[in-house]
Chain A
Amino acid sequence: MWRIIHQFGSPKGFYDFSARLQPWFWAAAVLLLLTGSLWGLLYAPADYQQGDSFRIIYVHVPAALLAQSAFVGLAVAAVIFLVWKIKVADMAASVMAPFGAAMTFVALFSGAVWGVPTWGTWWVWDARLTSMLILLFLFFGIIALRGAFTHRDSGSRAASVLAIVGVINIPIIKYSVEWWNTLHQPATFSVTERPSMPAEMWMPLLLMVLGFYCFFIALTLMRTRNEILRRESNKRWVRELVRGQ
């Protein structure tokens, strides 16, 4: 058991293993995203209240879910790195943070754009949008802290501590923002909350969510491999790999 973990956690082991894993995730991501998009854009019926503008849901909700999962993934990687000193976990964390921030931005942007036809304004201090905005700042903080250290290992460990502190705070932030929102804006119409969605509407949404997750995993594997090449460039196996090509 420990041998397997050790092998998978070593940069070379991960590099080889992820090479075999990667194509499957890319294939699944492309398949799911294509089917989900076509189904969502072409075949899903228009919403009886919001018309065709509800089709934004197929990018808004997956992006928002993925952004939050990316932060949790970041914190899990941080724990693995700090406790077991597995460097690959930190490399994965360093590539998850920018993509998580990008997904948070997508969720915010699509939410704002969706707000125009629904609320008649670009920005409403809706609980979900507000917590996404705070999440974006948390991502920025982690990326900036990692970059501020000249010594890479200190930057890694500092960013890991901040990721763990952040993930403990996220539920507290989420609930306090929700509480604050209900206090100040009672019973606003929330875009993503609907009584019951027919299957032909939520099925494509499910496909899109799965597709986003597969895309995220595939991209993280790909960029972690890049990061391994960058940080391990002096190791013998990397040099043999380069010479062999």
Chain B
Amino acid sequence: MREVDLAVLREPGGGLVVAWMATLRRDLMLRLRRRSEVMNPLVFFALVITLFPLGIAPKADLLATIAPGLLWVAALLATLLSMDSLFRADFDDGSLEQLMLCPQPLALMALAKVAGHWLLTGLPLALMAPLLGILLSLPTGSYGVLSLSLAVGSASLSLVGAIGAALTVGLVRGGVLLSLLVLPLYIPVLIFGTGAVQAAVAGSDVAPHLAILGAMLAAALMLAPWAIAASLRISING
């Protein structure tokens, strides 16, 4: 008992940073143990992008004009696909309840879980997007912006999607409902994400788009954790 108290007291914030890092590390480790779960969104992303030239026409100029939108929509759907599993396993084995019981604020602990999700979903998608951009003959010079906009945008997507995941985690068939709840809220991120890539293709200034994406991320970082925490409480006590 004494040792535990001392360990908590060693840090002035009541062990907040320790708990936060522990949650993040645990989530990353659990995800990395099940590689397929990390790989699935990436494979999905690549597959969807492969379908478009087959479904439309393999004309380079046509594909290049629609490439920013296609890449963004496919990446968005890939994130959405992985969203359902964010709290599912923890809900099933009861560790989500333990997370709720711990003295640190649930909103910040949920933020650690979202951060873990983004590190292994949003970030890999952003890094992989340029490869798929080559397949769609995306004009050179827009690859960096594509990755950057996806990295910033997918963090907002993870945060907003986590609200939907937390609301539907207690439901048996939450997956379809989750997309109905979350997709309308994804639209602003999609608009400015594709806007940034299109601006880069057109050679105009990309800074405003990226700034707005960053502003949306800041707003989501500030507000979404509270909504996630409230939703988790409803789903667990429900």
Q: A residues near B, CB below 8 A?
A: 82, 134, 137-138, 140-141, 144-145, 148-149, 151, 153-154, 157-158, 161-162, 164-166, 168-169, 172-173, 176-177, 179-180, 183
B218 CB–A CB distance under 8 Å: no
A173 in contact with B184 given A165-B227, A179-B191 (CB within 8 Å): yes
The reply to whether the CB of B223 lies closer than 8 angstroms to some CB of chain A is yes
| Cβ A148 vs Cβ B191 within 8 A | no
Q: List 6 A-B contacts (CB under 8 A).
A: A140-B180, A148-B171, A154-B234, A157-B234, A169-B188, A177-B191
Q: Is the interface of A mostly helix, strand, loop or mixed?
A: helix
Q: Cβ of B192: which chain A residues have Cβ within 8 Å of it? A: 176
| Shortest Cβ-Cβ A-B pairs, 6 listed | A154-B238, A176-B188, A137-B184, A141-B181, A176-B191, A157-B234
Query: Are A180 and B238 touching (Cβ within 8 A)?
Result: no
Report how far A183 CA is from B208 CA in the complex, Å.
14
**Contact digits for B177-217, partner A, Cβ 8 Å, 1 yes 0 no:** 10011011101100110010000000000000000000010
Residue from A145, A154, A180, A183 in contact with B177 in the complex, judged by beta carbons closer than 8 Å: A145
Select one of B195, B216, B223, B237 contacting A183, CB under 8 A.
B195
Q: Do A166 and B170 contact each other (CB < 8 Å), given the known contacts A137-B180, A148-B177, A179-B191? A: no
A122–B187 CA distance with the chains assembled, in angstroms: 23
**A138 and B160 alpha carbons, distance in the complex (Å):** 14
Q: Does B158 contact A (CB under 8 A)?
A: no
Contact A158 B231 (CB under 8 A): yes
Q: Shortest CB–CB separation between residue A33 and chain B, in angstroms?
A: 31
**Cβ-defined partner of A154 (8 Å) among B170, B187, B195:** B170
Contact indicator A180/B191 (Cβ below 8 Å): yes
Main secondary structure of the interface of B (DSSP, over half): helix
A134 to B187, CA, bound (A): 9
Question: B187 contacts A173, CB within 8 Å?
Answer: yes
Residues A161 and B230 in contact in the complex (CB < 8 Å), given A176-B192, A177-B191, A183-B195: yes
Q: Kindly list chain B residues whose C-beta atoms are within 8 Å of the C-beta of A144.
A: 177, 180-181
**Taking A144-B177, A157-B234, A161-B230 as contacts, is the C-beta distance between A172 and B183 under 8 angstroms?**
no
Contact B167 A158 (CB under 8 A): yes
Give chain A residues whose Cβ lies under 8 Å from the Cβ of B174. 148
**Bound form: Cα–Cα A161–B238 in Å:** 14
| B227 contacts across to A, CB distance below 8 A | 161, 164-165
Measured in the bound complex, the distance between the Cα atoms of B174 and A148 in whole Å is 9
**Least CB distance, B222 to chain A, in whole angstroms:** 11
Given known contacts A82-B230, A138-B184, A140-B180, what 14 new A-B pairs fall within 8 Å (CB)? A137-B180, A141-B180, A144-B177, A145-B177, A148-B168, A148-B177, A153-B238, A154-B170, A157-B238, A162-B167, A172-B219, A173-B184, A173-B185, A183-B195
Q: Which residues of A contact B184 (CB under 8 A)?
A: 134, 137-138, 141, 166, 169, 173
Whole-angstrom distance between the alpha carbons of A145 and B171 in the complex?
A: 10
User: Does B125 make an interface contact (CB < 8 A)?
Assistant: no
